Amino acid sequence: MAQIKVRNPLNGQFDYAFEASSVNDVRAQAQVARRAQADWFGKGLEHRIRVLKAWAESLERHTPAIAQALSADTGRHRISHEEIGAIVYFIHGFCAAAPEVLAQPFKKFKNNADVVFKTTYIPYPLVGVISPWNFPLVLSFIDAIPALVAGATVLVKPSEVTPRFVDPLLSSIAEVPELAGVINLVRGGPEVGQAVIAASDAIVFTGSVPTGRKIALAAAEAFIPAFLELGGKDPAVVLAGSDLSRAATSILRSAIYNSGQVCYAIERVYVDETIHDEFVAELVKQTATLRRSLAGGDGGHYGPFIFEKQGAIVGAQLDDAVAKGARILTGGKVETLDGAVWMDPTIVVDVNHGMTLMTEETFGPVVPVMKFKTVAEAAALANDTIYGLSGAVFGPDTHTAGDVATLVFAGGVSINDTELPRGMQFDGEKTAFKMSGMGGSRYGATSMLRYVRKRALMANEGQVKPLSVLEET
């Protein structure tokens, strides 16, 4: 087996290593999962809910170790604890919703009262999950948990960039014997991901569009469904009459959260020309209050790049923008300090869609701001993208901003705030538009139905049709 070394983003040291799973390891894990699935589904929903709630309790007991591992891989403290809390929340939320969502009562045919039917939900036996490095734990289980509740077993491959949480997580799983073979984790690079696809009955992937395309093709070859949550280039539109302090705070919070390494981060801002300068001044003023976080709990607002190559990608976009006339007002430099790769919050003006900064996913703490003259122009700019994950519109009131929000072609559009879809996990549904994803909604309690096939059972409780119906007339 190949050994993979892992870099600590806070100091640049390769201070952890793990043995990558082989293709045979993946196949063996898949066989274990398939054997476990019959019992996992067969014992019924109440059993699954009880076991998953026991795991939630175990996760809470193992929080210190899991959070420490996440922090070592990501260079952040608070968000690592948030990830664990989110998983516990997902477990309880899907377990609470499942009895209603998965209910299977008999109903009568509308055109024949003698026939009753019901739809039964048969889970895909094994759901494979391939997750990215920016939220290692959450994005490994945001889809795995509803699949588990629905009765599938899961085979999860976290990113090889951020794998340290796997060991303490496995310890939490081991405390719940009924989960043996139900939750399975493998580690490694792309070849392990390919093996997961080949071994699964359905595949879930969160990550970039180029990799998502490859996974969709591999899934098509295997004739299995693929559920893809891909990149974003989220726009924010700021209309005349907006509360500029509120808009600046909301946009900056979104752009800087996790140092911009978020698929739904605001990555481009369109501002009415009559308020552009005032808005930019407010943005710069608020940016000056932010500082680096060099250690957990130090009061800093943002950390280094998790994946060091991301710094070079962001730097190249900024170089391209400046070469084409953009001006950087704050930040803008990729710096290596004691092995960590940093970029301070970066405000950029005089940008246009001829720059990669405005058209390609940035995944860094950058806020480019562009003027518009009319609402129609703002909507056209917001929609001039291959992406359609989410976005935001700010205006003087909900009605005015809401009218413009309906013009934005994205799955979730926040009004007078950003990131509102994050809180919608069980309350509503949204899908990604364009190349930001495919395969149904990850949001909403009914998202667990992505992981089942529907079988109709029908019974005729009346008379059968006589042979005379076959007579020619």
**Which are the catalytic amino acids?**
229, 263
What's the token pair of residue 180? 């043996």
d(C-alpha 319, C-alpha 357), whole Å: 9
The separation between CA 414 and the C-alpha centre of its own chain, rounded to angstroms, equals 17
What tokens appear for 151 in the block?
A: 């009765």
SS3 string, 215-272, reads HHHHHHHHCCCEEEECCCCEEEEECCCCCHHHHHHHHHHHHHHHHHCCCCCEEEEEEE
Q: Rounded to whole angstroms, how far apart are CA atoms 240 and 300? A: 33
Alpha carbons within 13 angstroms on the beta-carbon side of residue 402 total: 3
Angle at 434 (CA atoms; ends 431, 436), nearest 5 degrees: 65
CA dihedral 192, 195, 196, 198 (to 10 degrees): 160
Do 283 and 275 meet the contact criterion of CB atoms below 8 Å apart? no
The per-residue DSSP string of 351-400 comes to --TTSGGGTS---SSEEEEEEESSHHHHHHHHH-SSEESEEEEE-SSHHH
Which structure tokens are listed for 58? 């175990």
- Residues 261-284 as b/e (b if ≥16 CB within 10 A, e otherwise) read bbbbbbbbbbbbeebbeebbebbb
What amino acid occupies position 384? Answer: D
Phi and psi, residue 51, nearest 5° = -70, -45
Phi/psi of residue 151, nearest 5 degrees: 115, 5
Which residue reads 């960590």 in tokens? 340
What is the C-alpha radius of gyration for the chain, rounded to an integer number of angstroms? 25
User: 11 exposed, middle or buried (CB, 10 Å; 0-12, 13-18, 19+)?
Assistant: middle
- d(CA 445, CA 95) in angstroms, rounded, equals 9
